[in-house]
């Protein structure tokens, strides 16, 4: 083993240089870091009405507050492995938590420009963790499947907590929307406090840079393009609804606080989908039946919100949550299943996240702008339903039994 490198961790514990308790603590640190990767983005949605009333932002400009971090997810993804090689993977993840805390803190300042600056900084921080944490799990656990399932579920739980608790925290403590949004700074600090002693900060070998020329050449193949489009359009659905659902429901007569709780329900159900989808996908030669089930769930959820947003709302958001949680986990799993080697998987993952998140960033902005133009939510929801068609094409192709790099 290279000097300074961490011993490989077995998720069974014995015979690996770490006790079972230490392995459990390391897994806990991974989960807590995952919990931090969505609140800074999703927490905006429940306070969007108050934010707009206070700042005078249009729907499109307010949507940009959610779109900006997602743009960063794509723009900064190619740089994360290079950063890890320079300063060490563990140190890079620790740095991302520091940067995330700084971004959340910036949004506590009054000028509107700091809202956007904080969102940009937080987005860059999350982009680093998005790329490096799966690589860390793959390196440290001999059987990473269970840990990755918990990791994916924790992403949804973090989003659910931000959606459901941001407004109640503000009400309970008598905070305005800005301080309620800034309360997630405590979670980032807690994540850093756990990560540093458990994972340490070391400079060691990290996976090859997934953004190199070889990785981009994968896009010459239809399979790589289909995986990328599926990931991107799935993320368009998630961030569009995640940003505007409380406002959409409020306009339909649902109380603002309840809208945030319903968004939380969507993400909690999504966590269940994120746990189940990778398990089922790994047992299938082709994942096409799973793609069909998830697309039907999208259709039911979106159609319900379009036709009767104030009636049966719990069902519509729960079904949509199952679709988005399972869809995102499936997209990540397809990156692994369609790759012949870990190096190909790293390259495909870097390319798919870069382009997929850049595509997804347009979702909240276009959704909000279409609402401004039409004065309602029917056309924005209809657009999401139409986008299920290219998503179905991409998912059908990405789910076929084929492998890149053979």
Residue 12 reports pLDDT greater than 60: no
Highest mean pLDDT among 97-101, 202-206, 253-257: 97-101
278 touches 291 (CB < 8 A):
no
Tokens describing residue 240:
């569009």
Q: How far apart are CA 362 and CA 69, in angstroms?
A: 11
DSSP 24-57: HHHHHHHHHHHHTTSHHHHTTGGGHHHHHHHH--
- The confidence score (pLDDT) of residue 392 equals 97
Mean local confidence (pLDDT), 13-38: 78
Cβ neighbours around 111 below 10 Å, total = 9
Q: How far apart are CA 223 and CA 225, in angstroms?
A: 5
Q: Between 101 and 43, name the one with better pLDDT.
A: 101
The arithmetic mean of pLDDT across residues 347-355, rounded, is 82
CA–CA separation, 300 and 115 (whole Å): 35
pTM of the model: 0.76
**What distance in Å separates the CA atoms of residue 43 and residue 242, rounded to the nearest whole number?**
9
Q: Indicate the pLDDT class of residue 97, thresholds 50, 70 and 90.
A: very high
Residue 289 has pLDDT above 50, yes or no: yes
pLDDT of residue 201: 56
Whether 264 contacts 165, CB under 8 Å: yes
Return phi, psi of residue 341, to 5°: -135, 160
Mean pLDDT of the chain: 83
Please indicate whether residue 13 or residue 172 has the higher confidence score (pLDDT). 172
256-282 and 313-337 helices, crossing angle to 10°: 30
What Å distances lie between residue 123 and 80, 104, 240, 258, 311, CA to CA? 13, 10, 16, 27, 35
Mean pLDDT of 159-179: 84
Which range has the worst mean pLDDT, 6-15, 119-128, 143-152, 265-274? Answer: 6-15
pLDDT, mean of residues 220-247:
91
Q: Has residue 382 got a pLDDT over 50? A: yes
Distance CA 314, CA 248 (A): 14
Contact partners, residue 296, CB within 8 Å, separation at least 6: none
Residue 51: both structure tokens together: 């934010």
Does residue 5 register a pLDDT over 60?
Answer: no
Q: Name the residue with tokens 């990328």.
A: 228
pLDDT over threshold 70, residue 4: no
């Amino acid at each position: 083993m290279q000097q300074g490198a961490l011993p490989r961790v077995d998720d069974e514990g014995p015979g690996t240089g770490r006790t079972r308790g230490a392995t459990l603590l390391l897994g806990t640190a991974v989960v807590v870091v995952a919990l931090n990767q969505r609140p800074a983005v999703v927490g905006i949605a429940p306070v969007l009405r108050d934010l707009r009333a206070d700042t005078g932002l249009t729907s499109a400009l307010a949507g940009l507050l959610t779109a900006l971090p997602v743009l960063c997810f794509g723009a900064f993804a190619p740089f994360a492995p290079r950063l890890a090689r320079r300063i060490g993977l563990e140190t890079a993840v620790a740095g991302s938590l520091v940067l995330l805390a700084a971004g959340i803190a910036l949004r506590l300042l009054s000028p509107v420009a700091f809202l956007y600056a904080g969102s940009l900084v937080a987005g860059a921080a999350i982009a680093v963790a998005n790329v490096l944490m799966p690589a860390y799990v793959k390196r440290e656990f001999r059987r990473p499947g269970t840990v990755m399932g918990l990791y994916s579920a924790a992403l949804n739980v973090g989003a659910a907590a931000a959606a459901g608790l941001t407004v109640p925290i503000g009400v309970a403590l008598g905070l305005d929307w800005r301080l309620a949004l800034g309360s997630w700074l405590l979670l980032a600090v807690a994540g850093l406090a756990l990560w540093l002693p458990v994972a340490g900060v070391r400079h060691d070998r990290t996976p090859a840079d997934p953004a190199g020329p070889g990785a981009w050449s994968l896009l010459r193949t239809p399979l790589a393009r289909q995986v990328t489009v599926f990931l991107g359009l799935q993320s368009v659905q998630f961030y569009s609804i995640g940003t505007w659902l409380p406002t959409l429901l409020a306009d339909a007569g649902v109380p603002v606080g309840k809208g945030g709780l319903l968004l939380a329900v969507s993400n909690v159900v999504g966590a269940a989908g994120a746990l189940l989808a990778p398990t089922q996908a790994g047992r299938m030669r082709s994942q096409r039946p799973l793609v069909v089930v998830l697309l039907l769930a999208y259709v039911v959820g979106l159609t319900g919100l379009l036709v009767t947003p104030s009636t049966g709302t719990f069902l519509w958001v729960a079904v949509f949550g199952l679709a988005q949680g399972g869809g995102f986990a499936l997209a990540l799993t397809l990156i692994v299943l369609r790759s012949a080697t870990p190096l190909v998987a790293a390259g495909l993952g870097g390319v798919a996240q870069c382009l997929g998140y850049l595509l997804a960033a347009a979702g909240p902005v276009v959704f909000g702008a279409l609402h401004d133009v039409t004065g309602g939510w029917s056309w924005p929801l209809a657009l999401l339903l139409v986008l299920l068609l290219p998503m179905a094409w991409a998912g059908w192709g990405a789910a076929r039994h084929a492998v890149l790099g053979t």
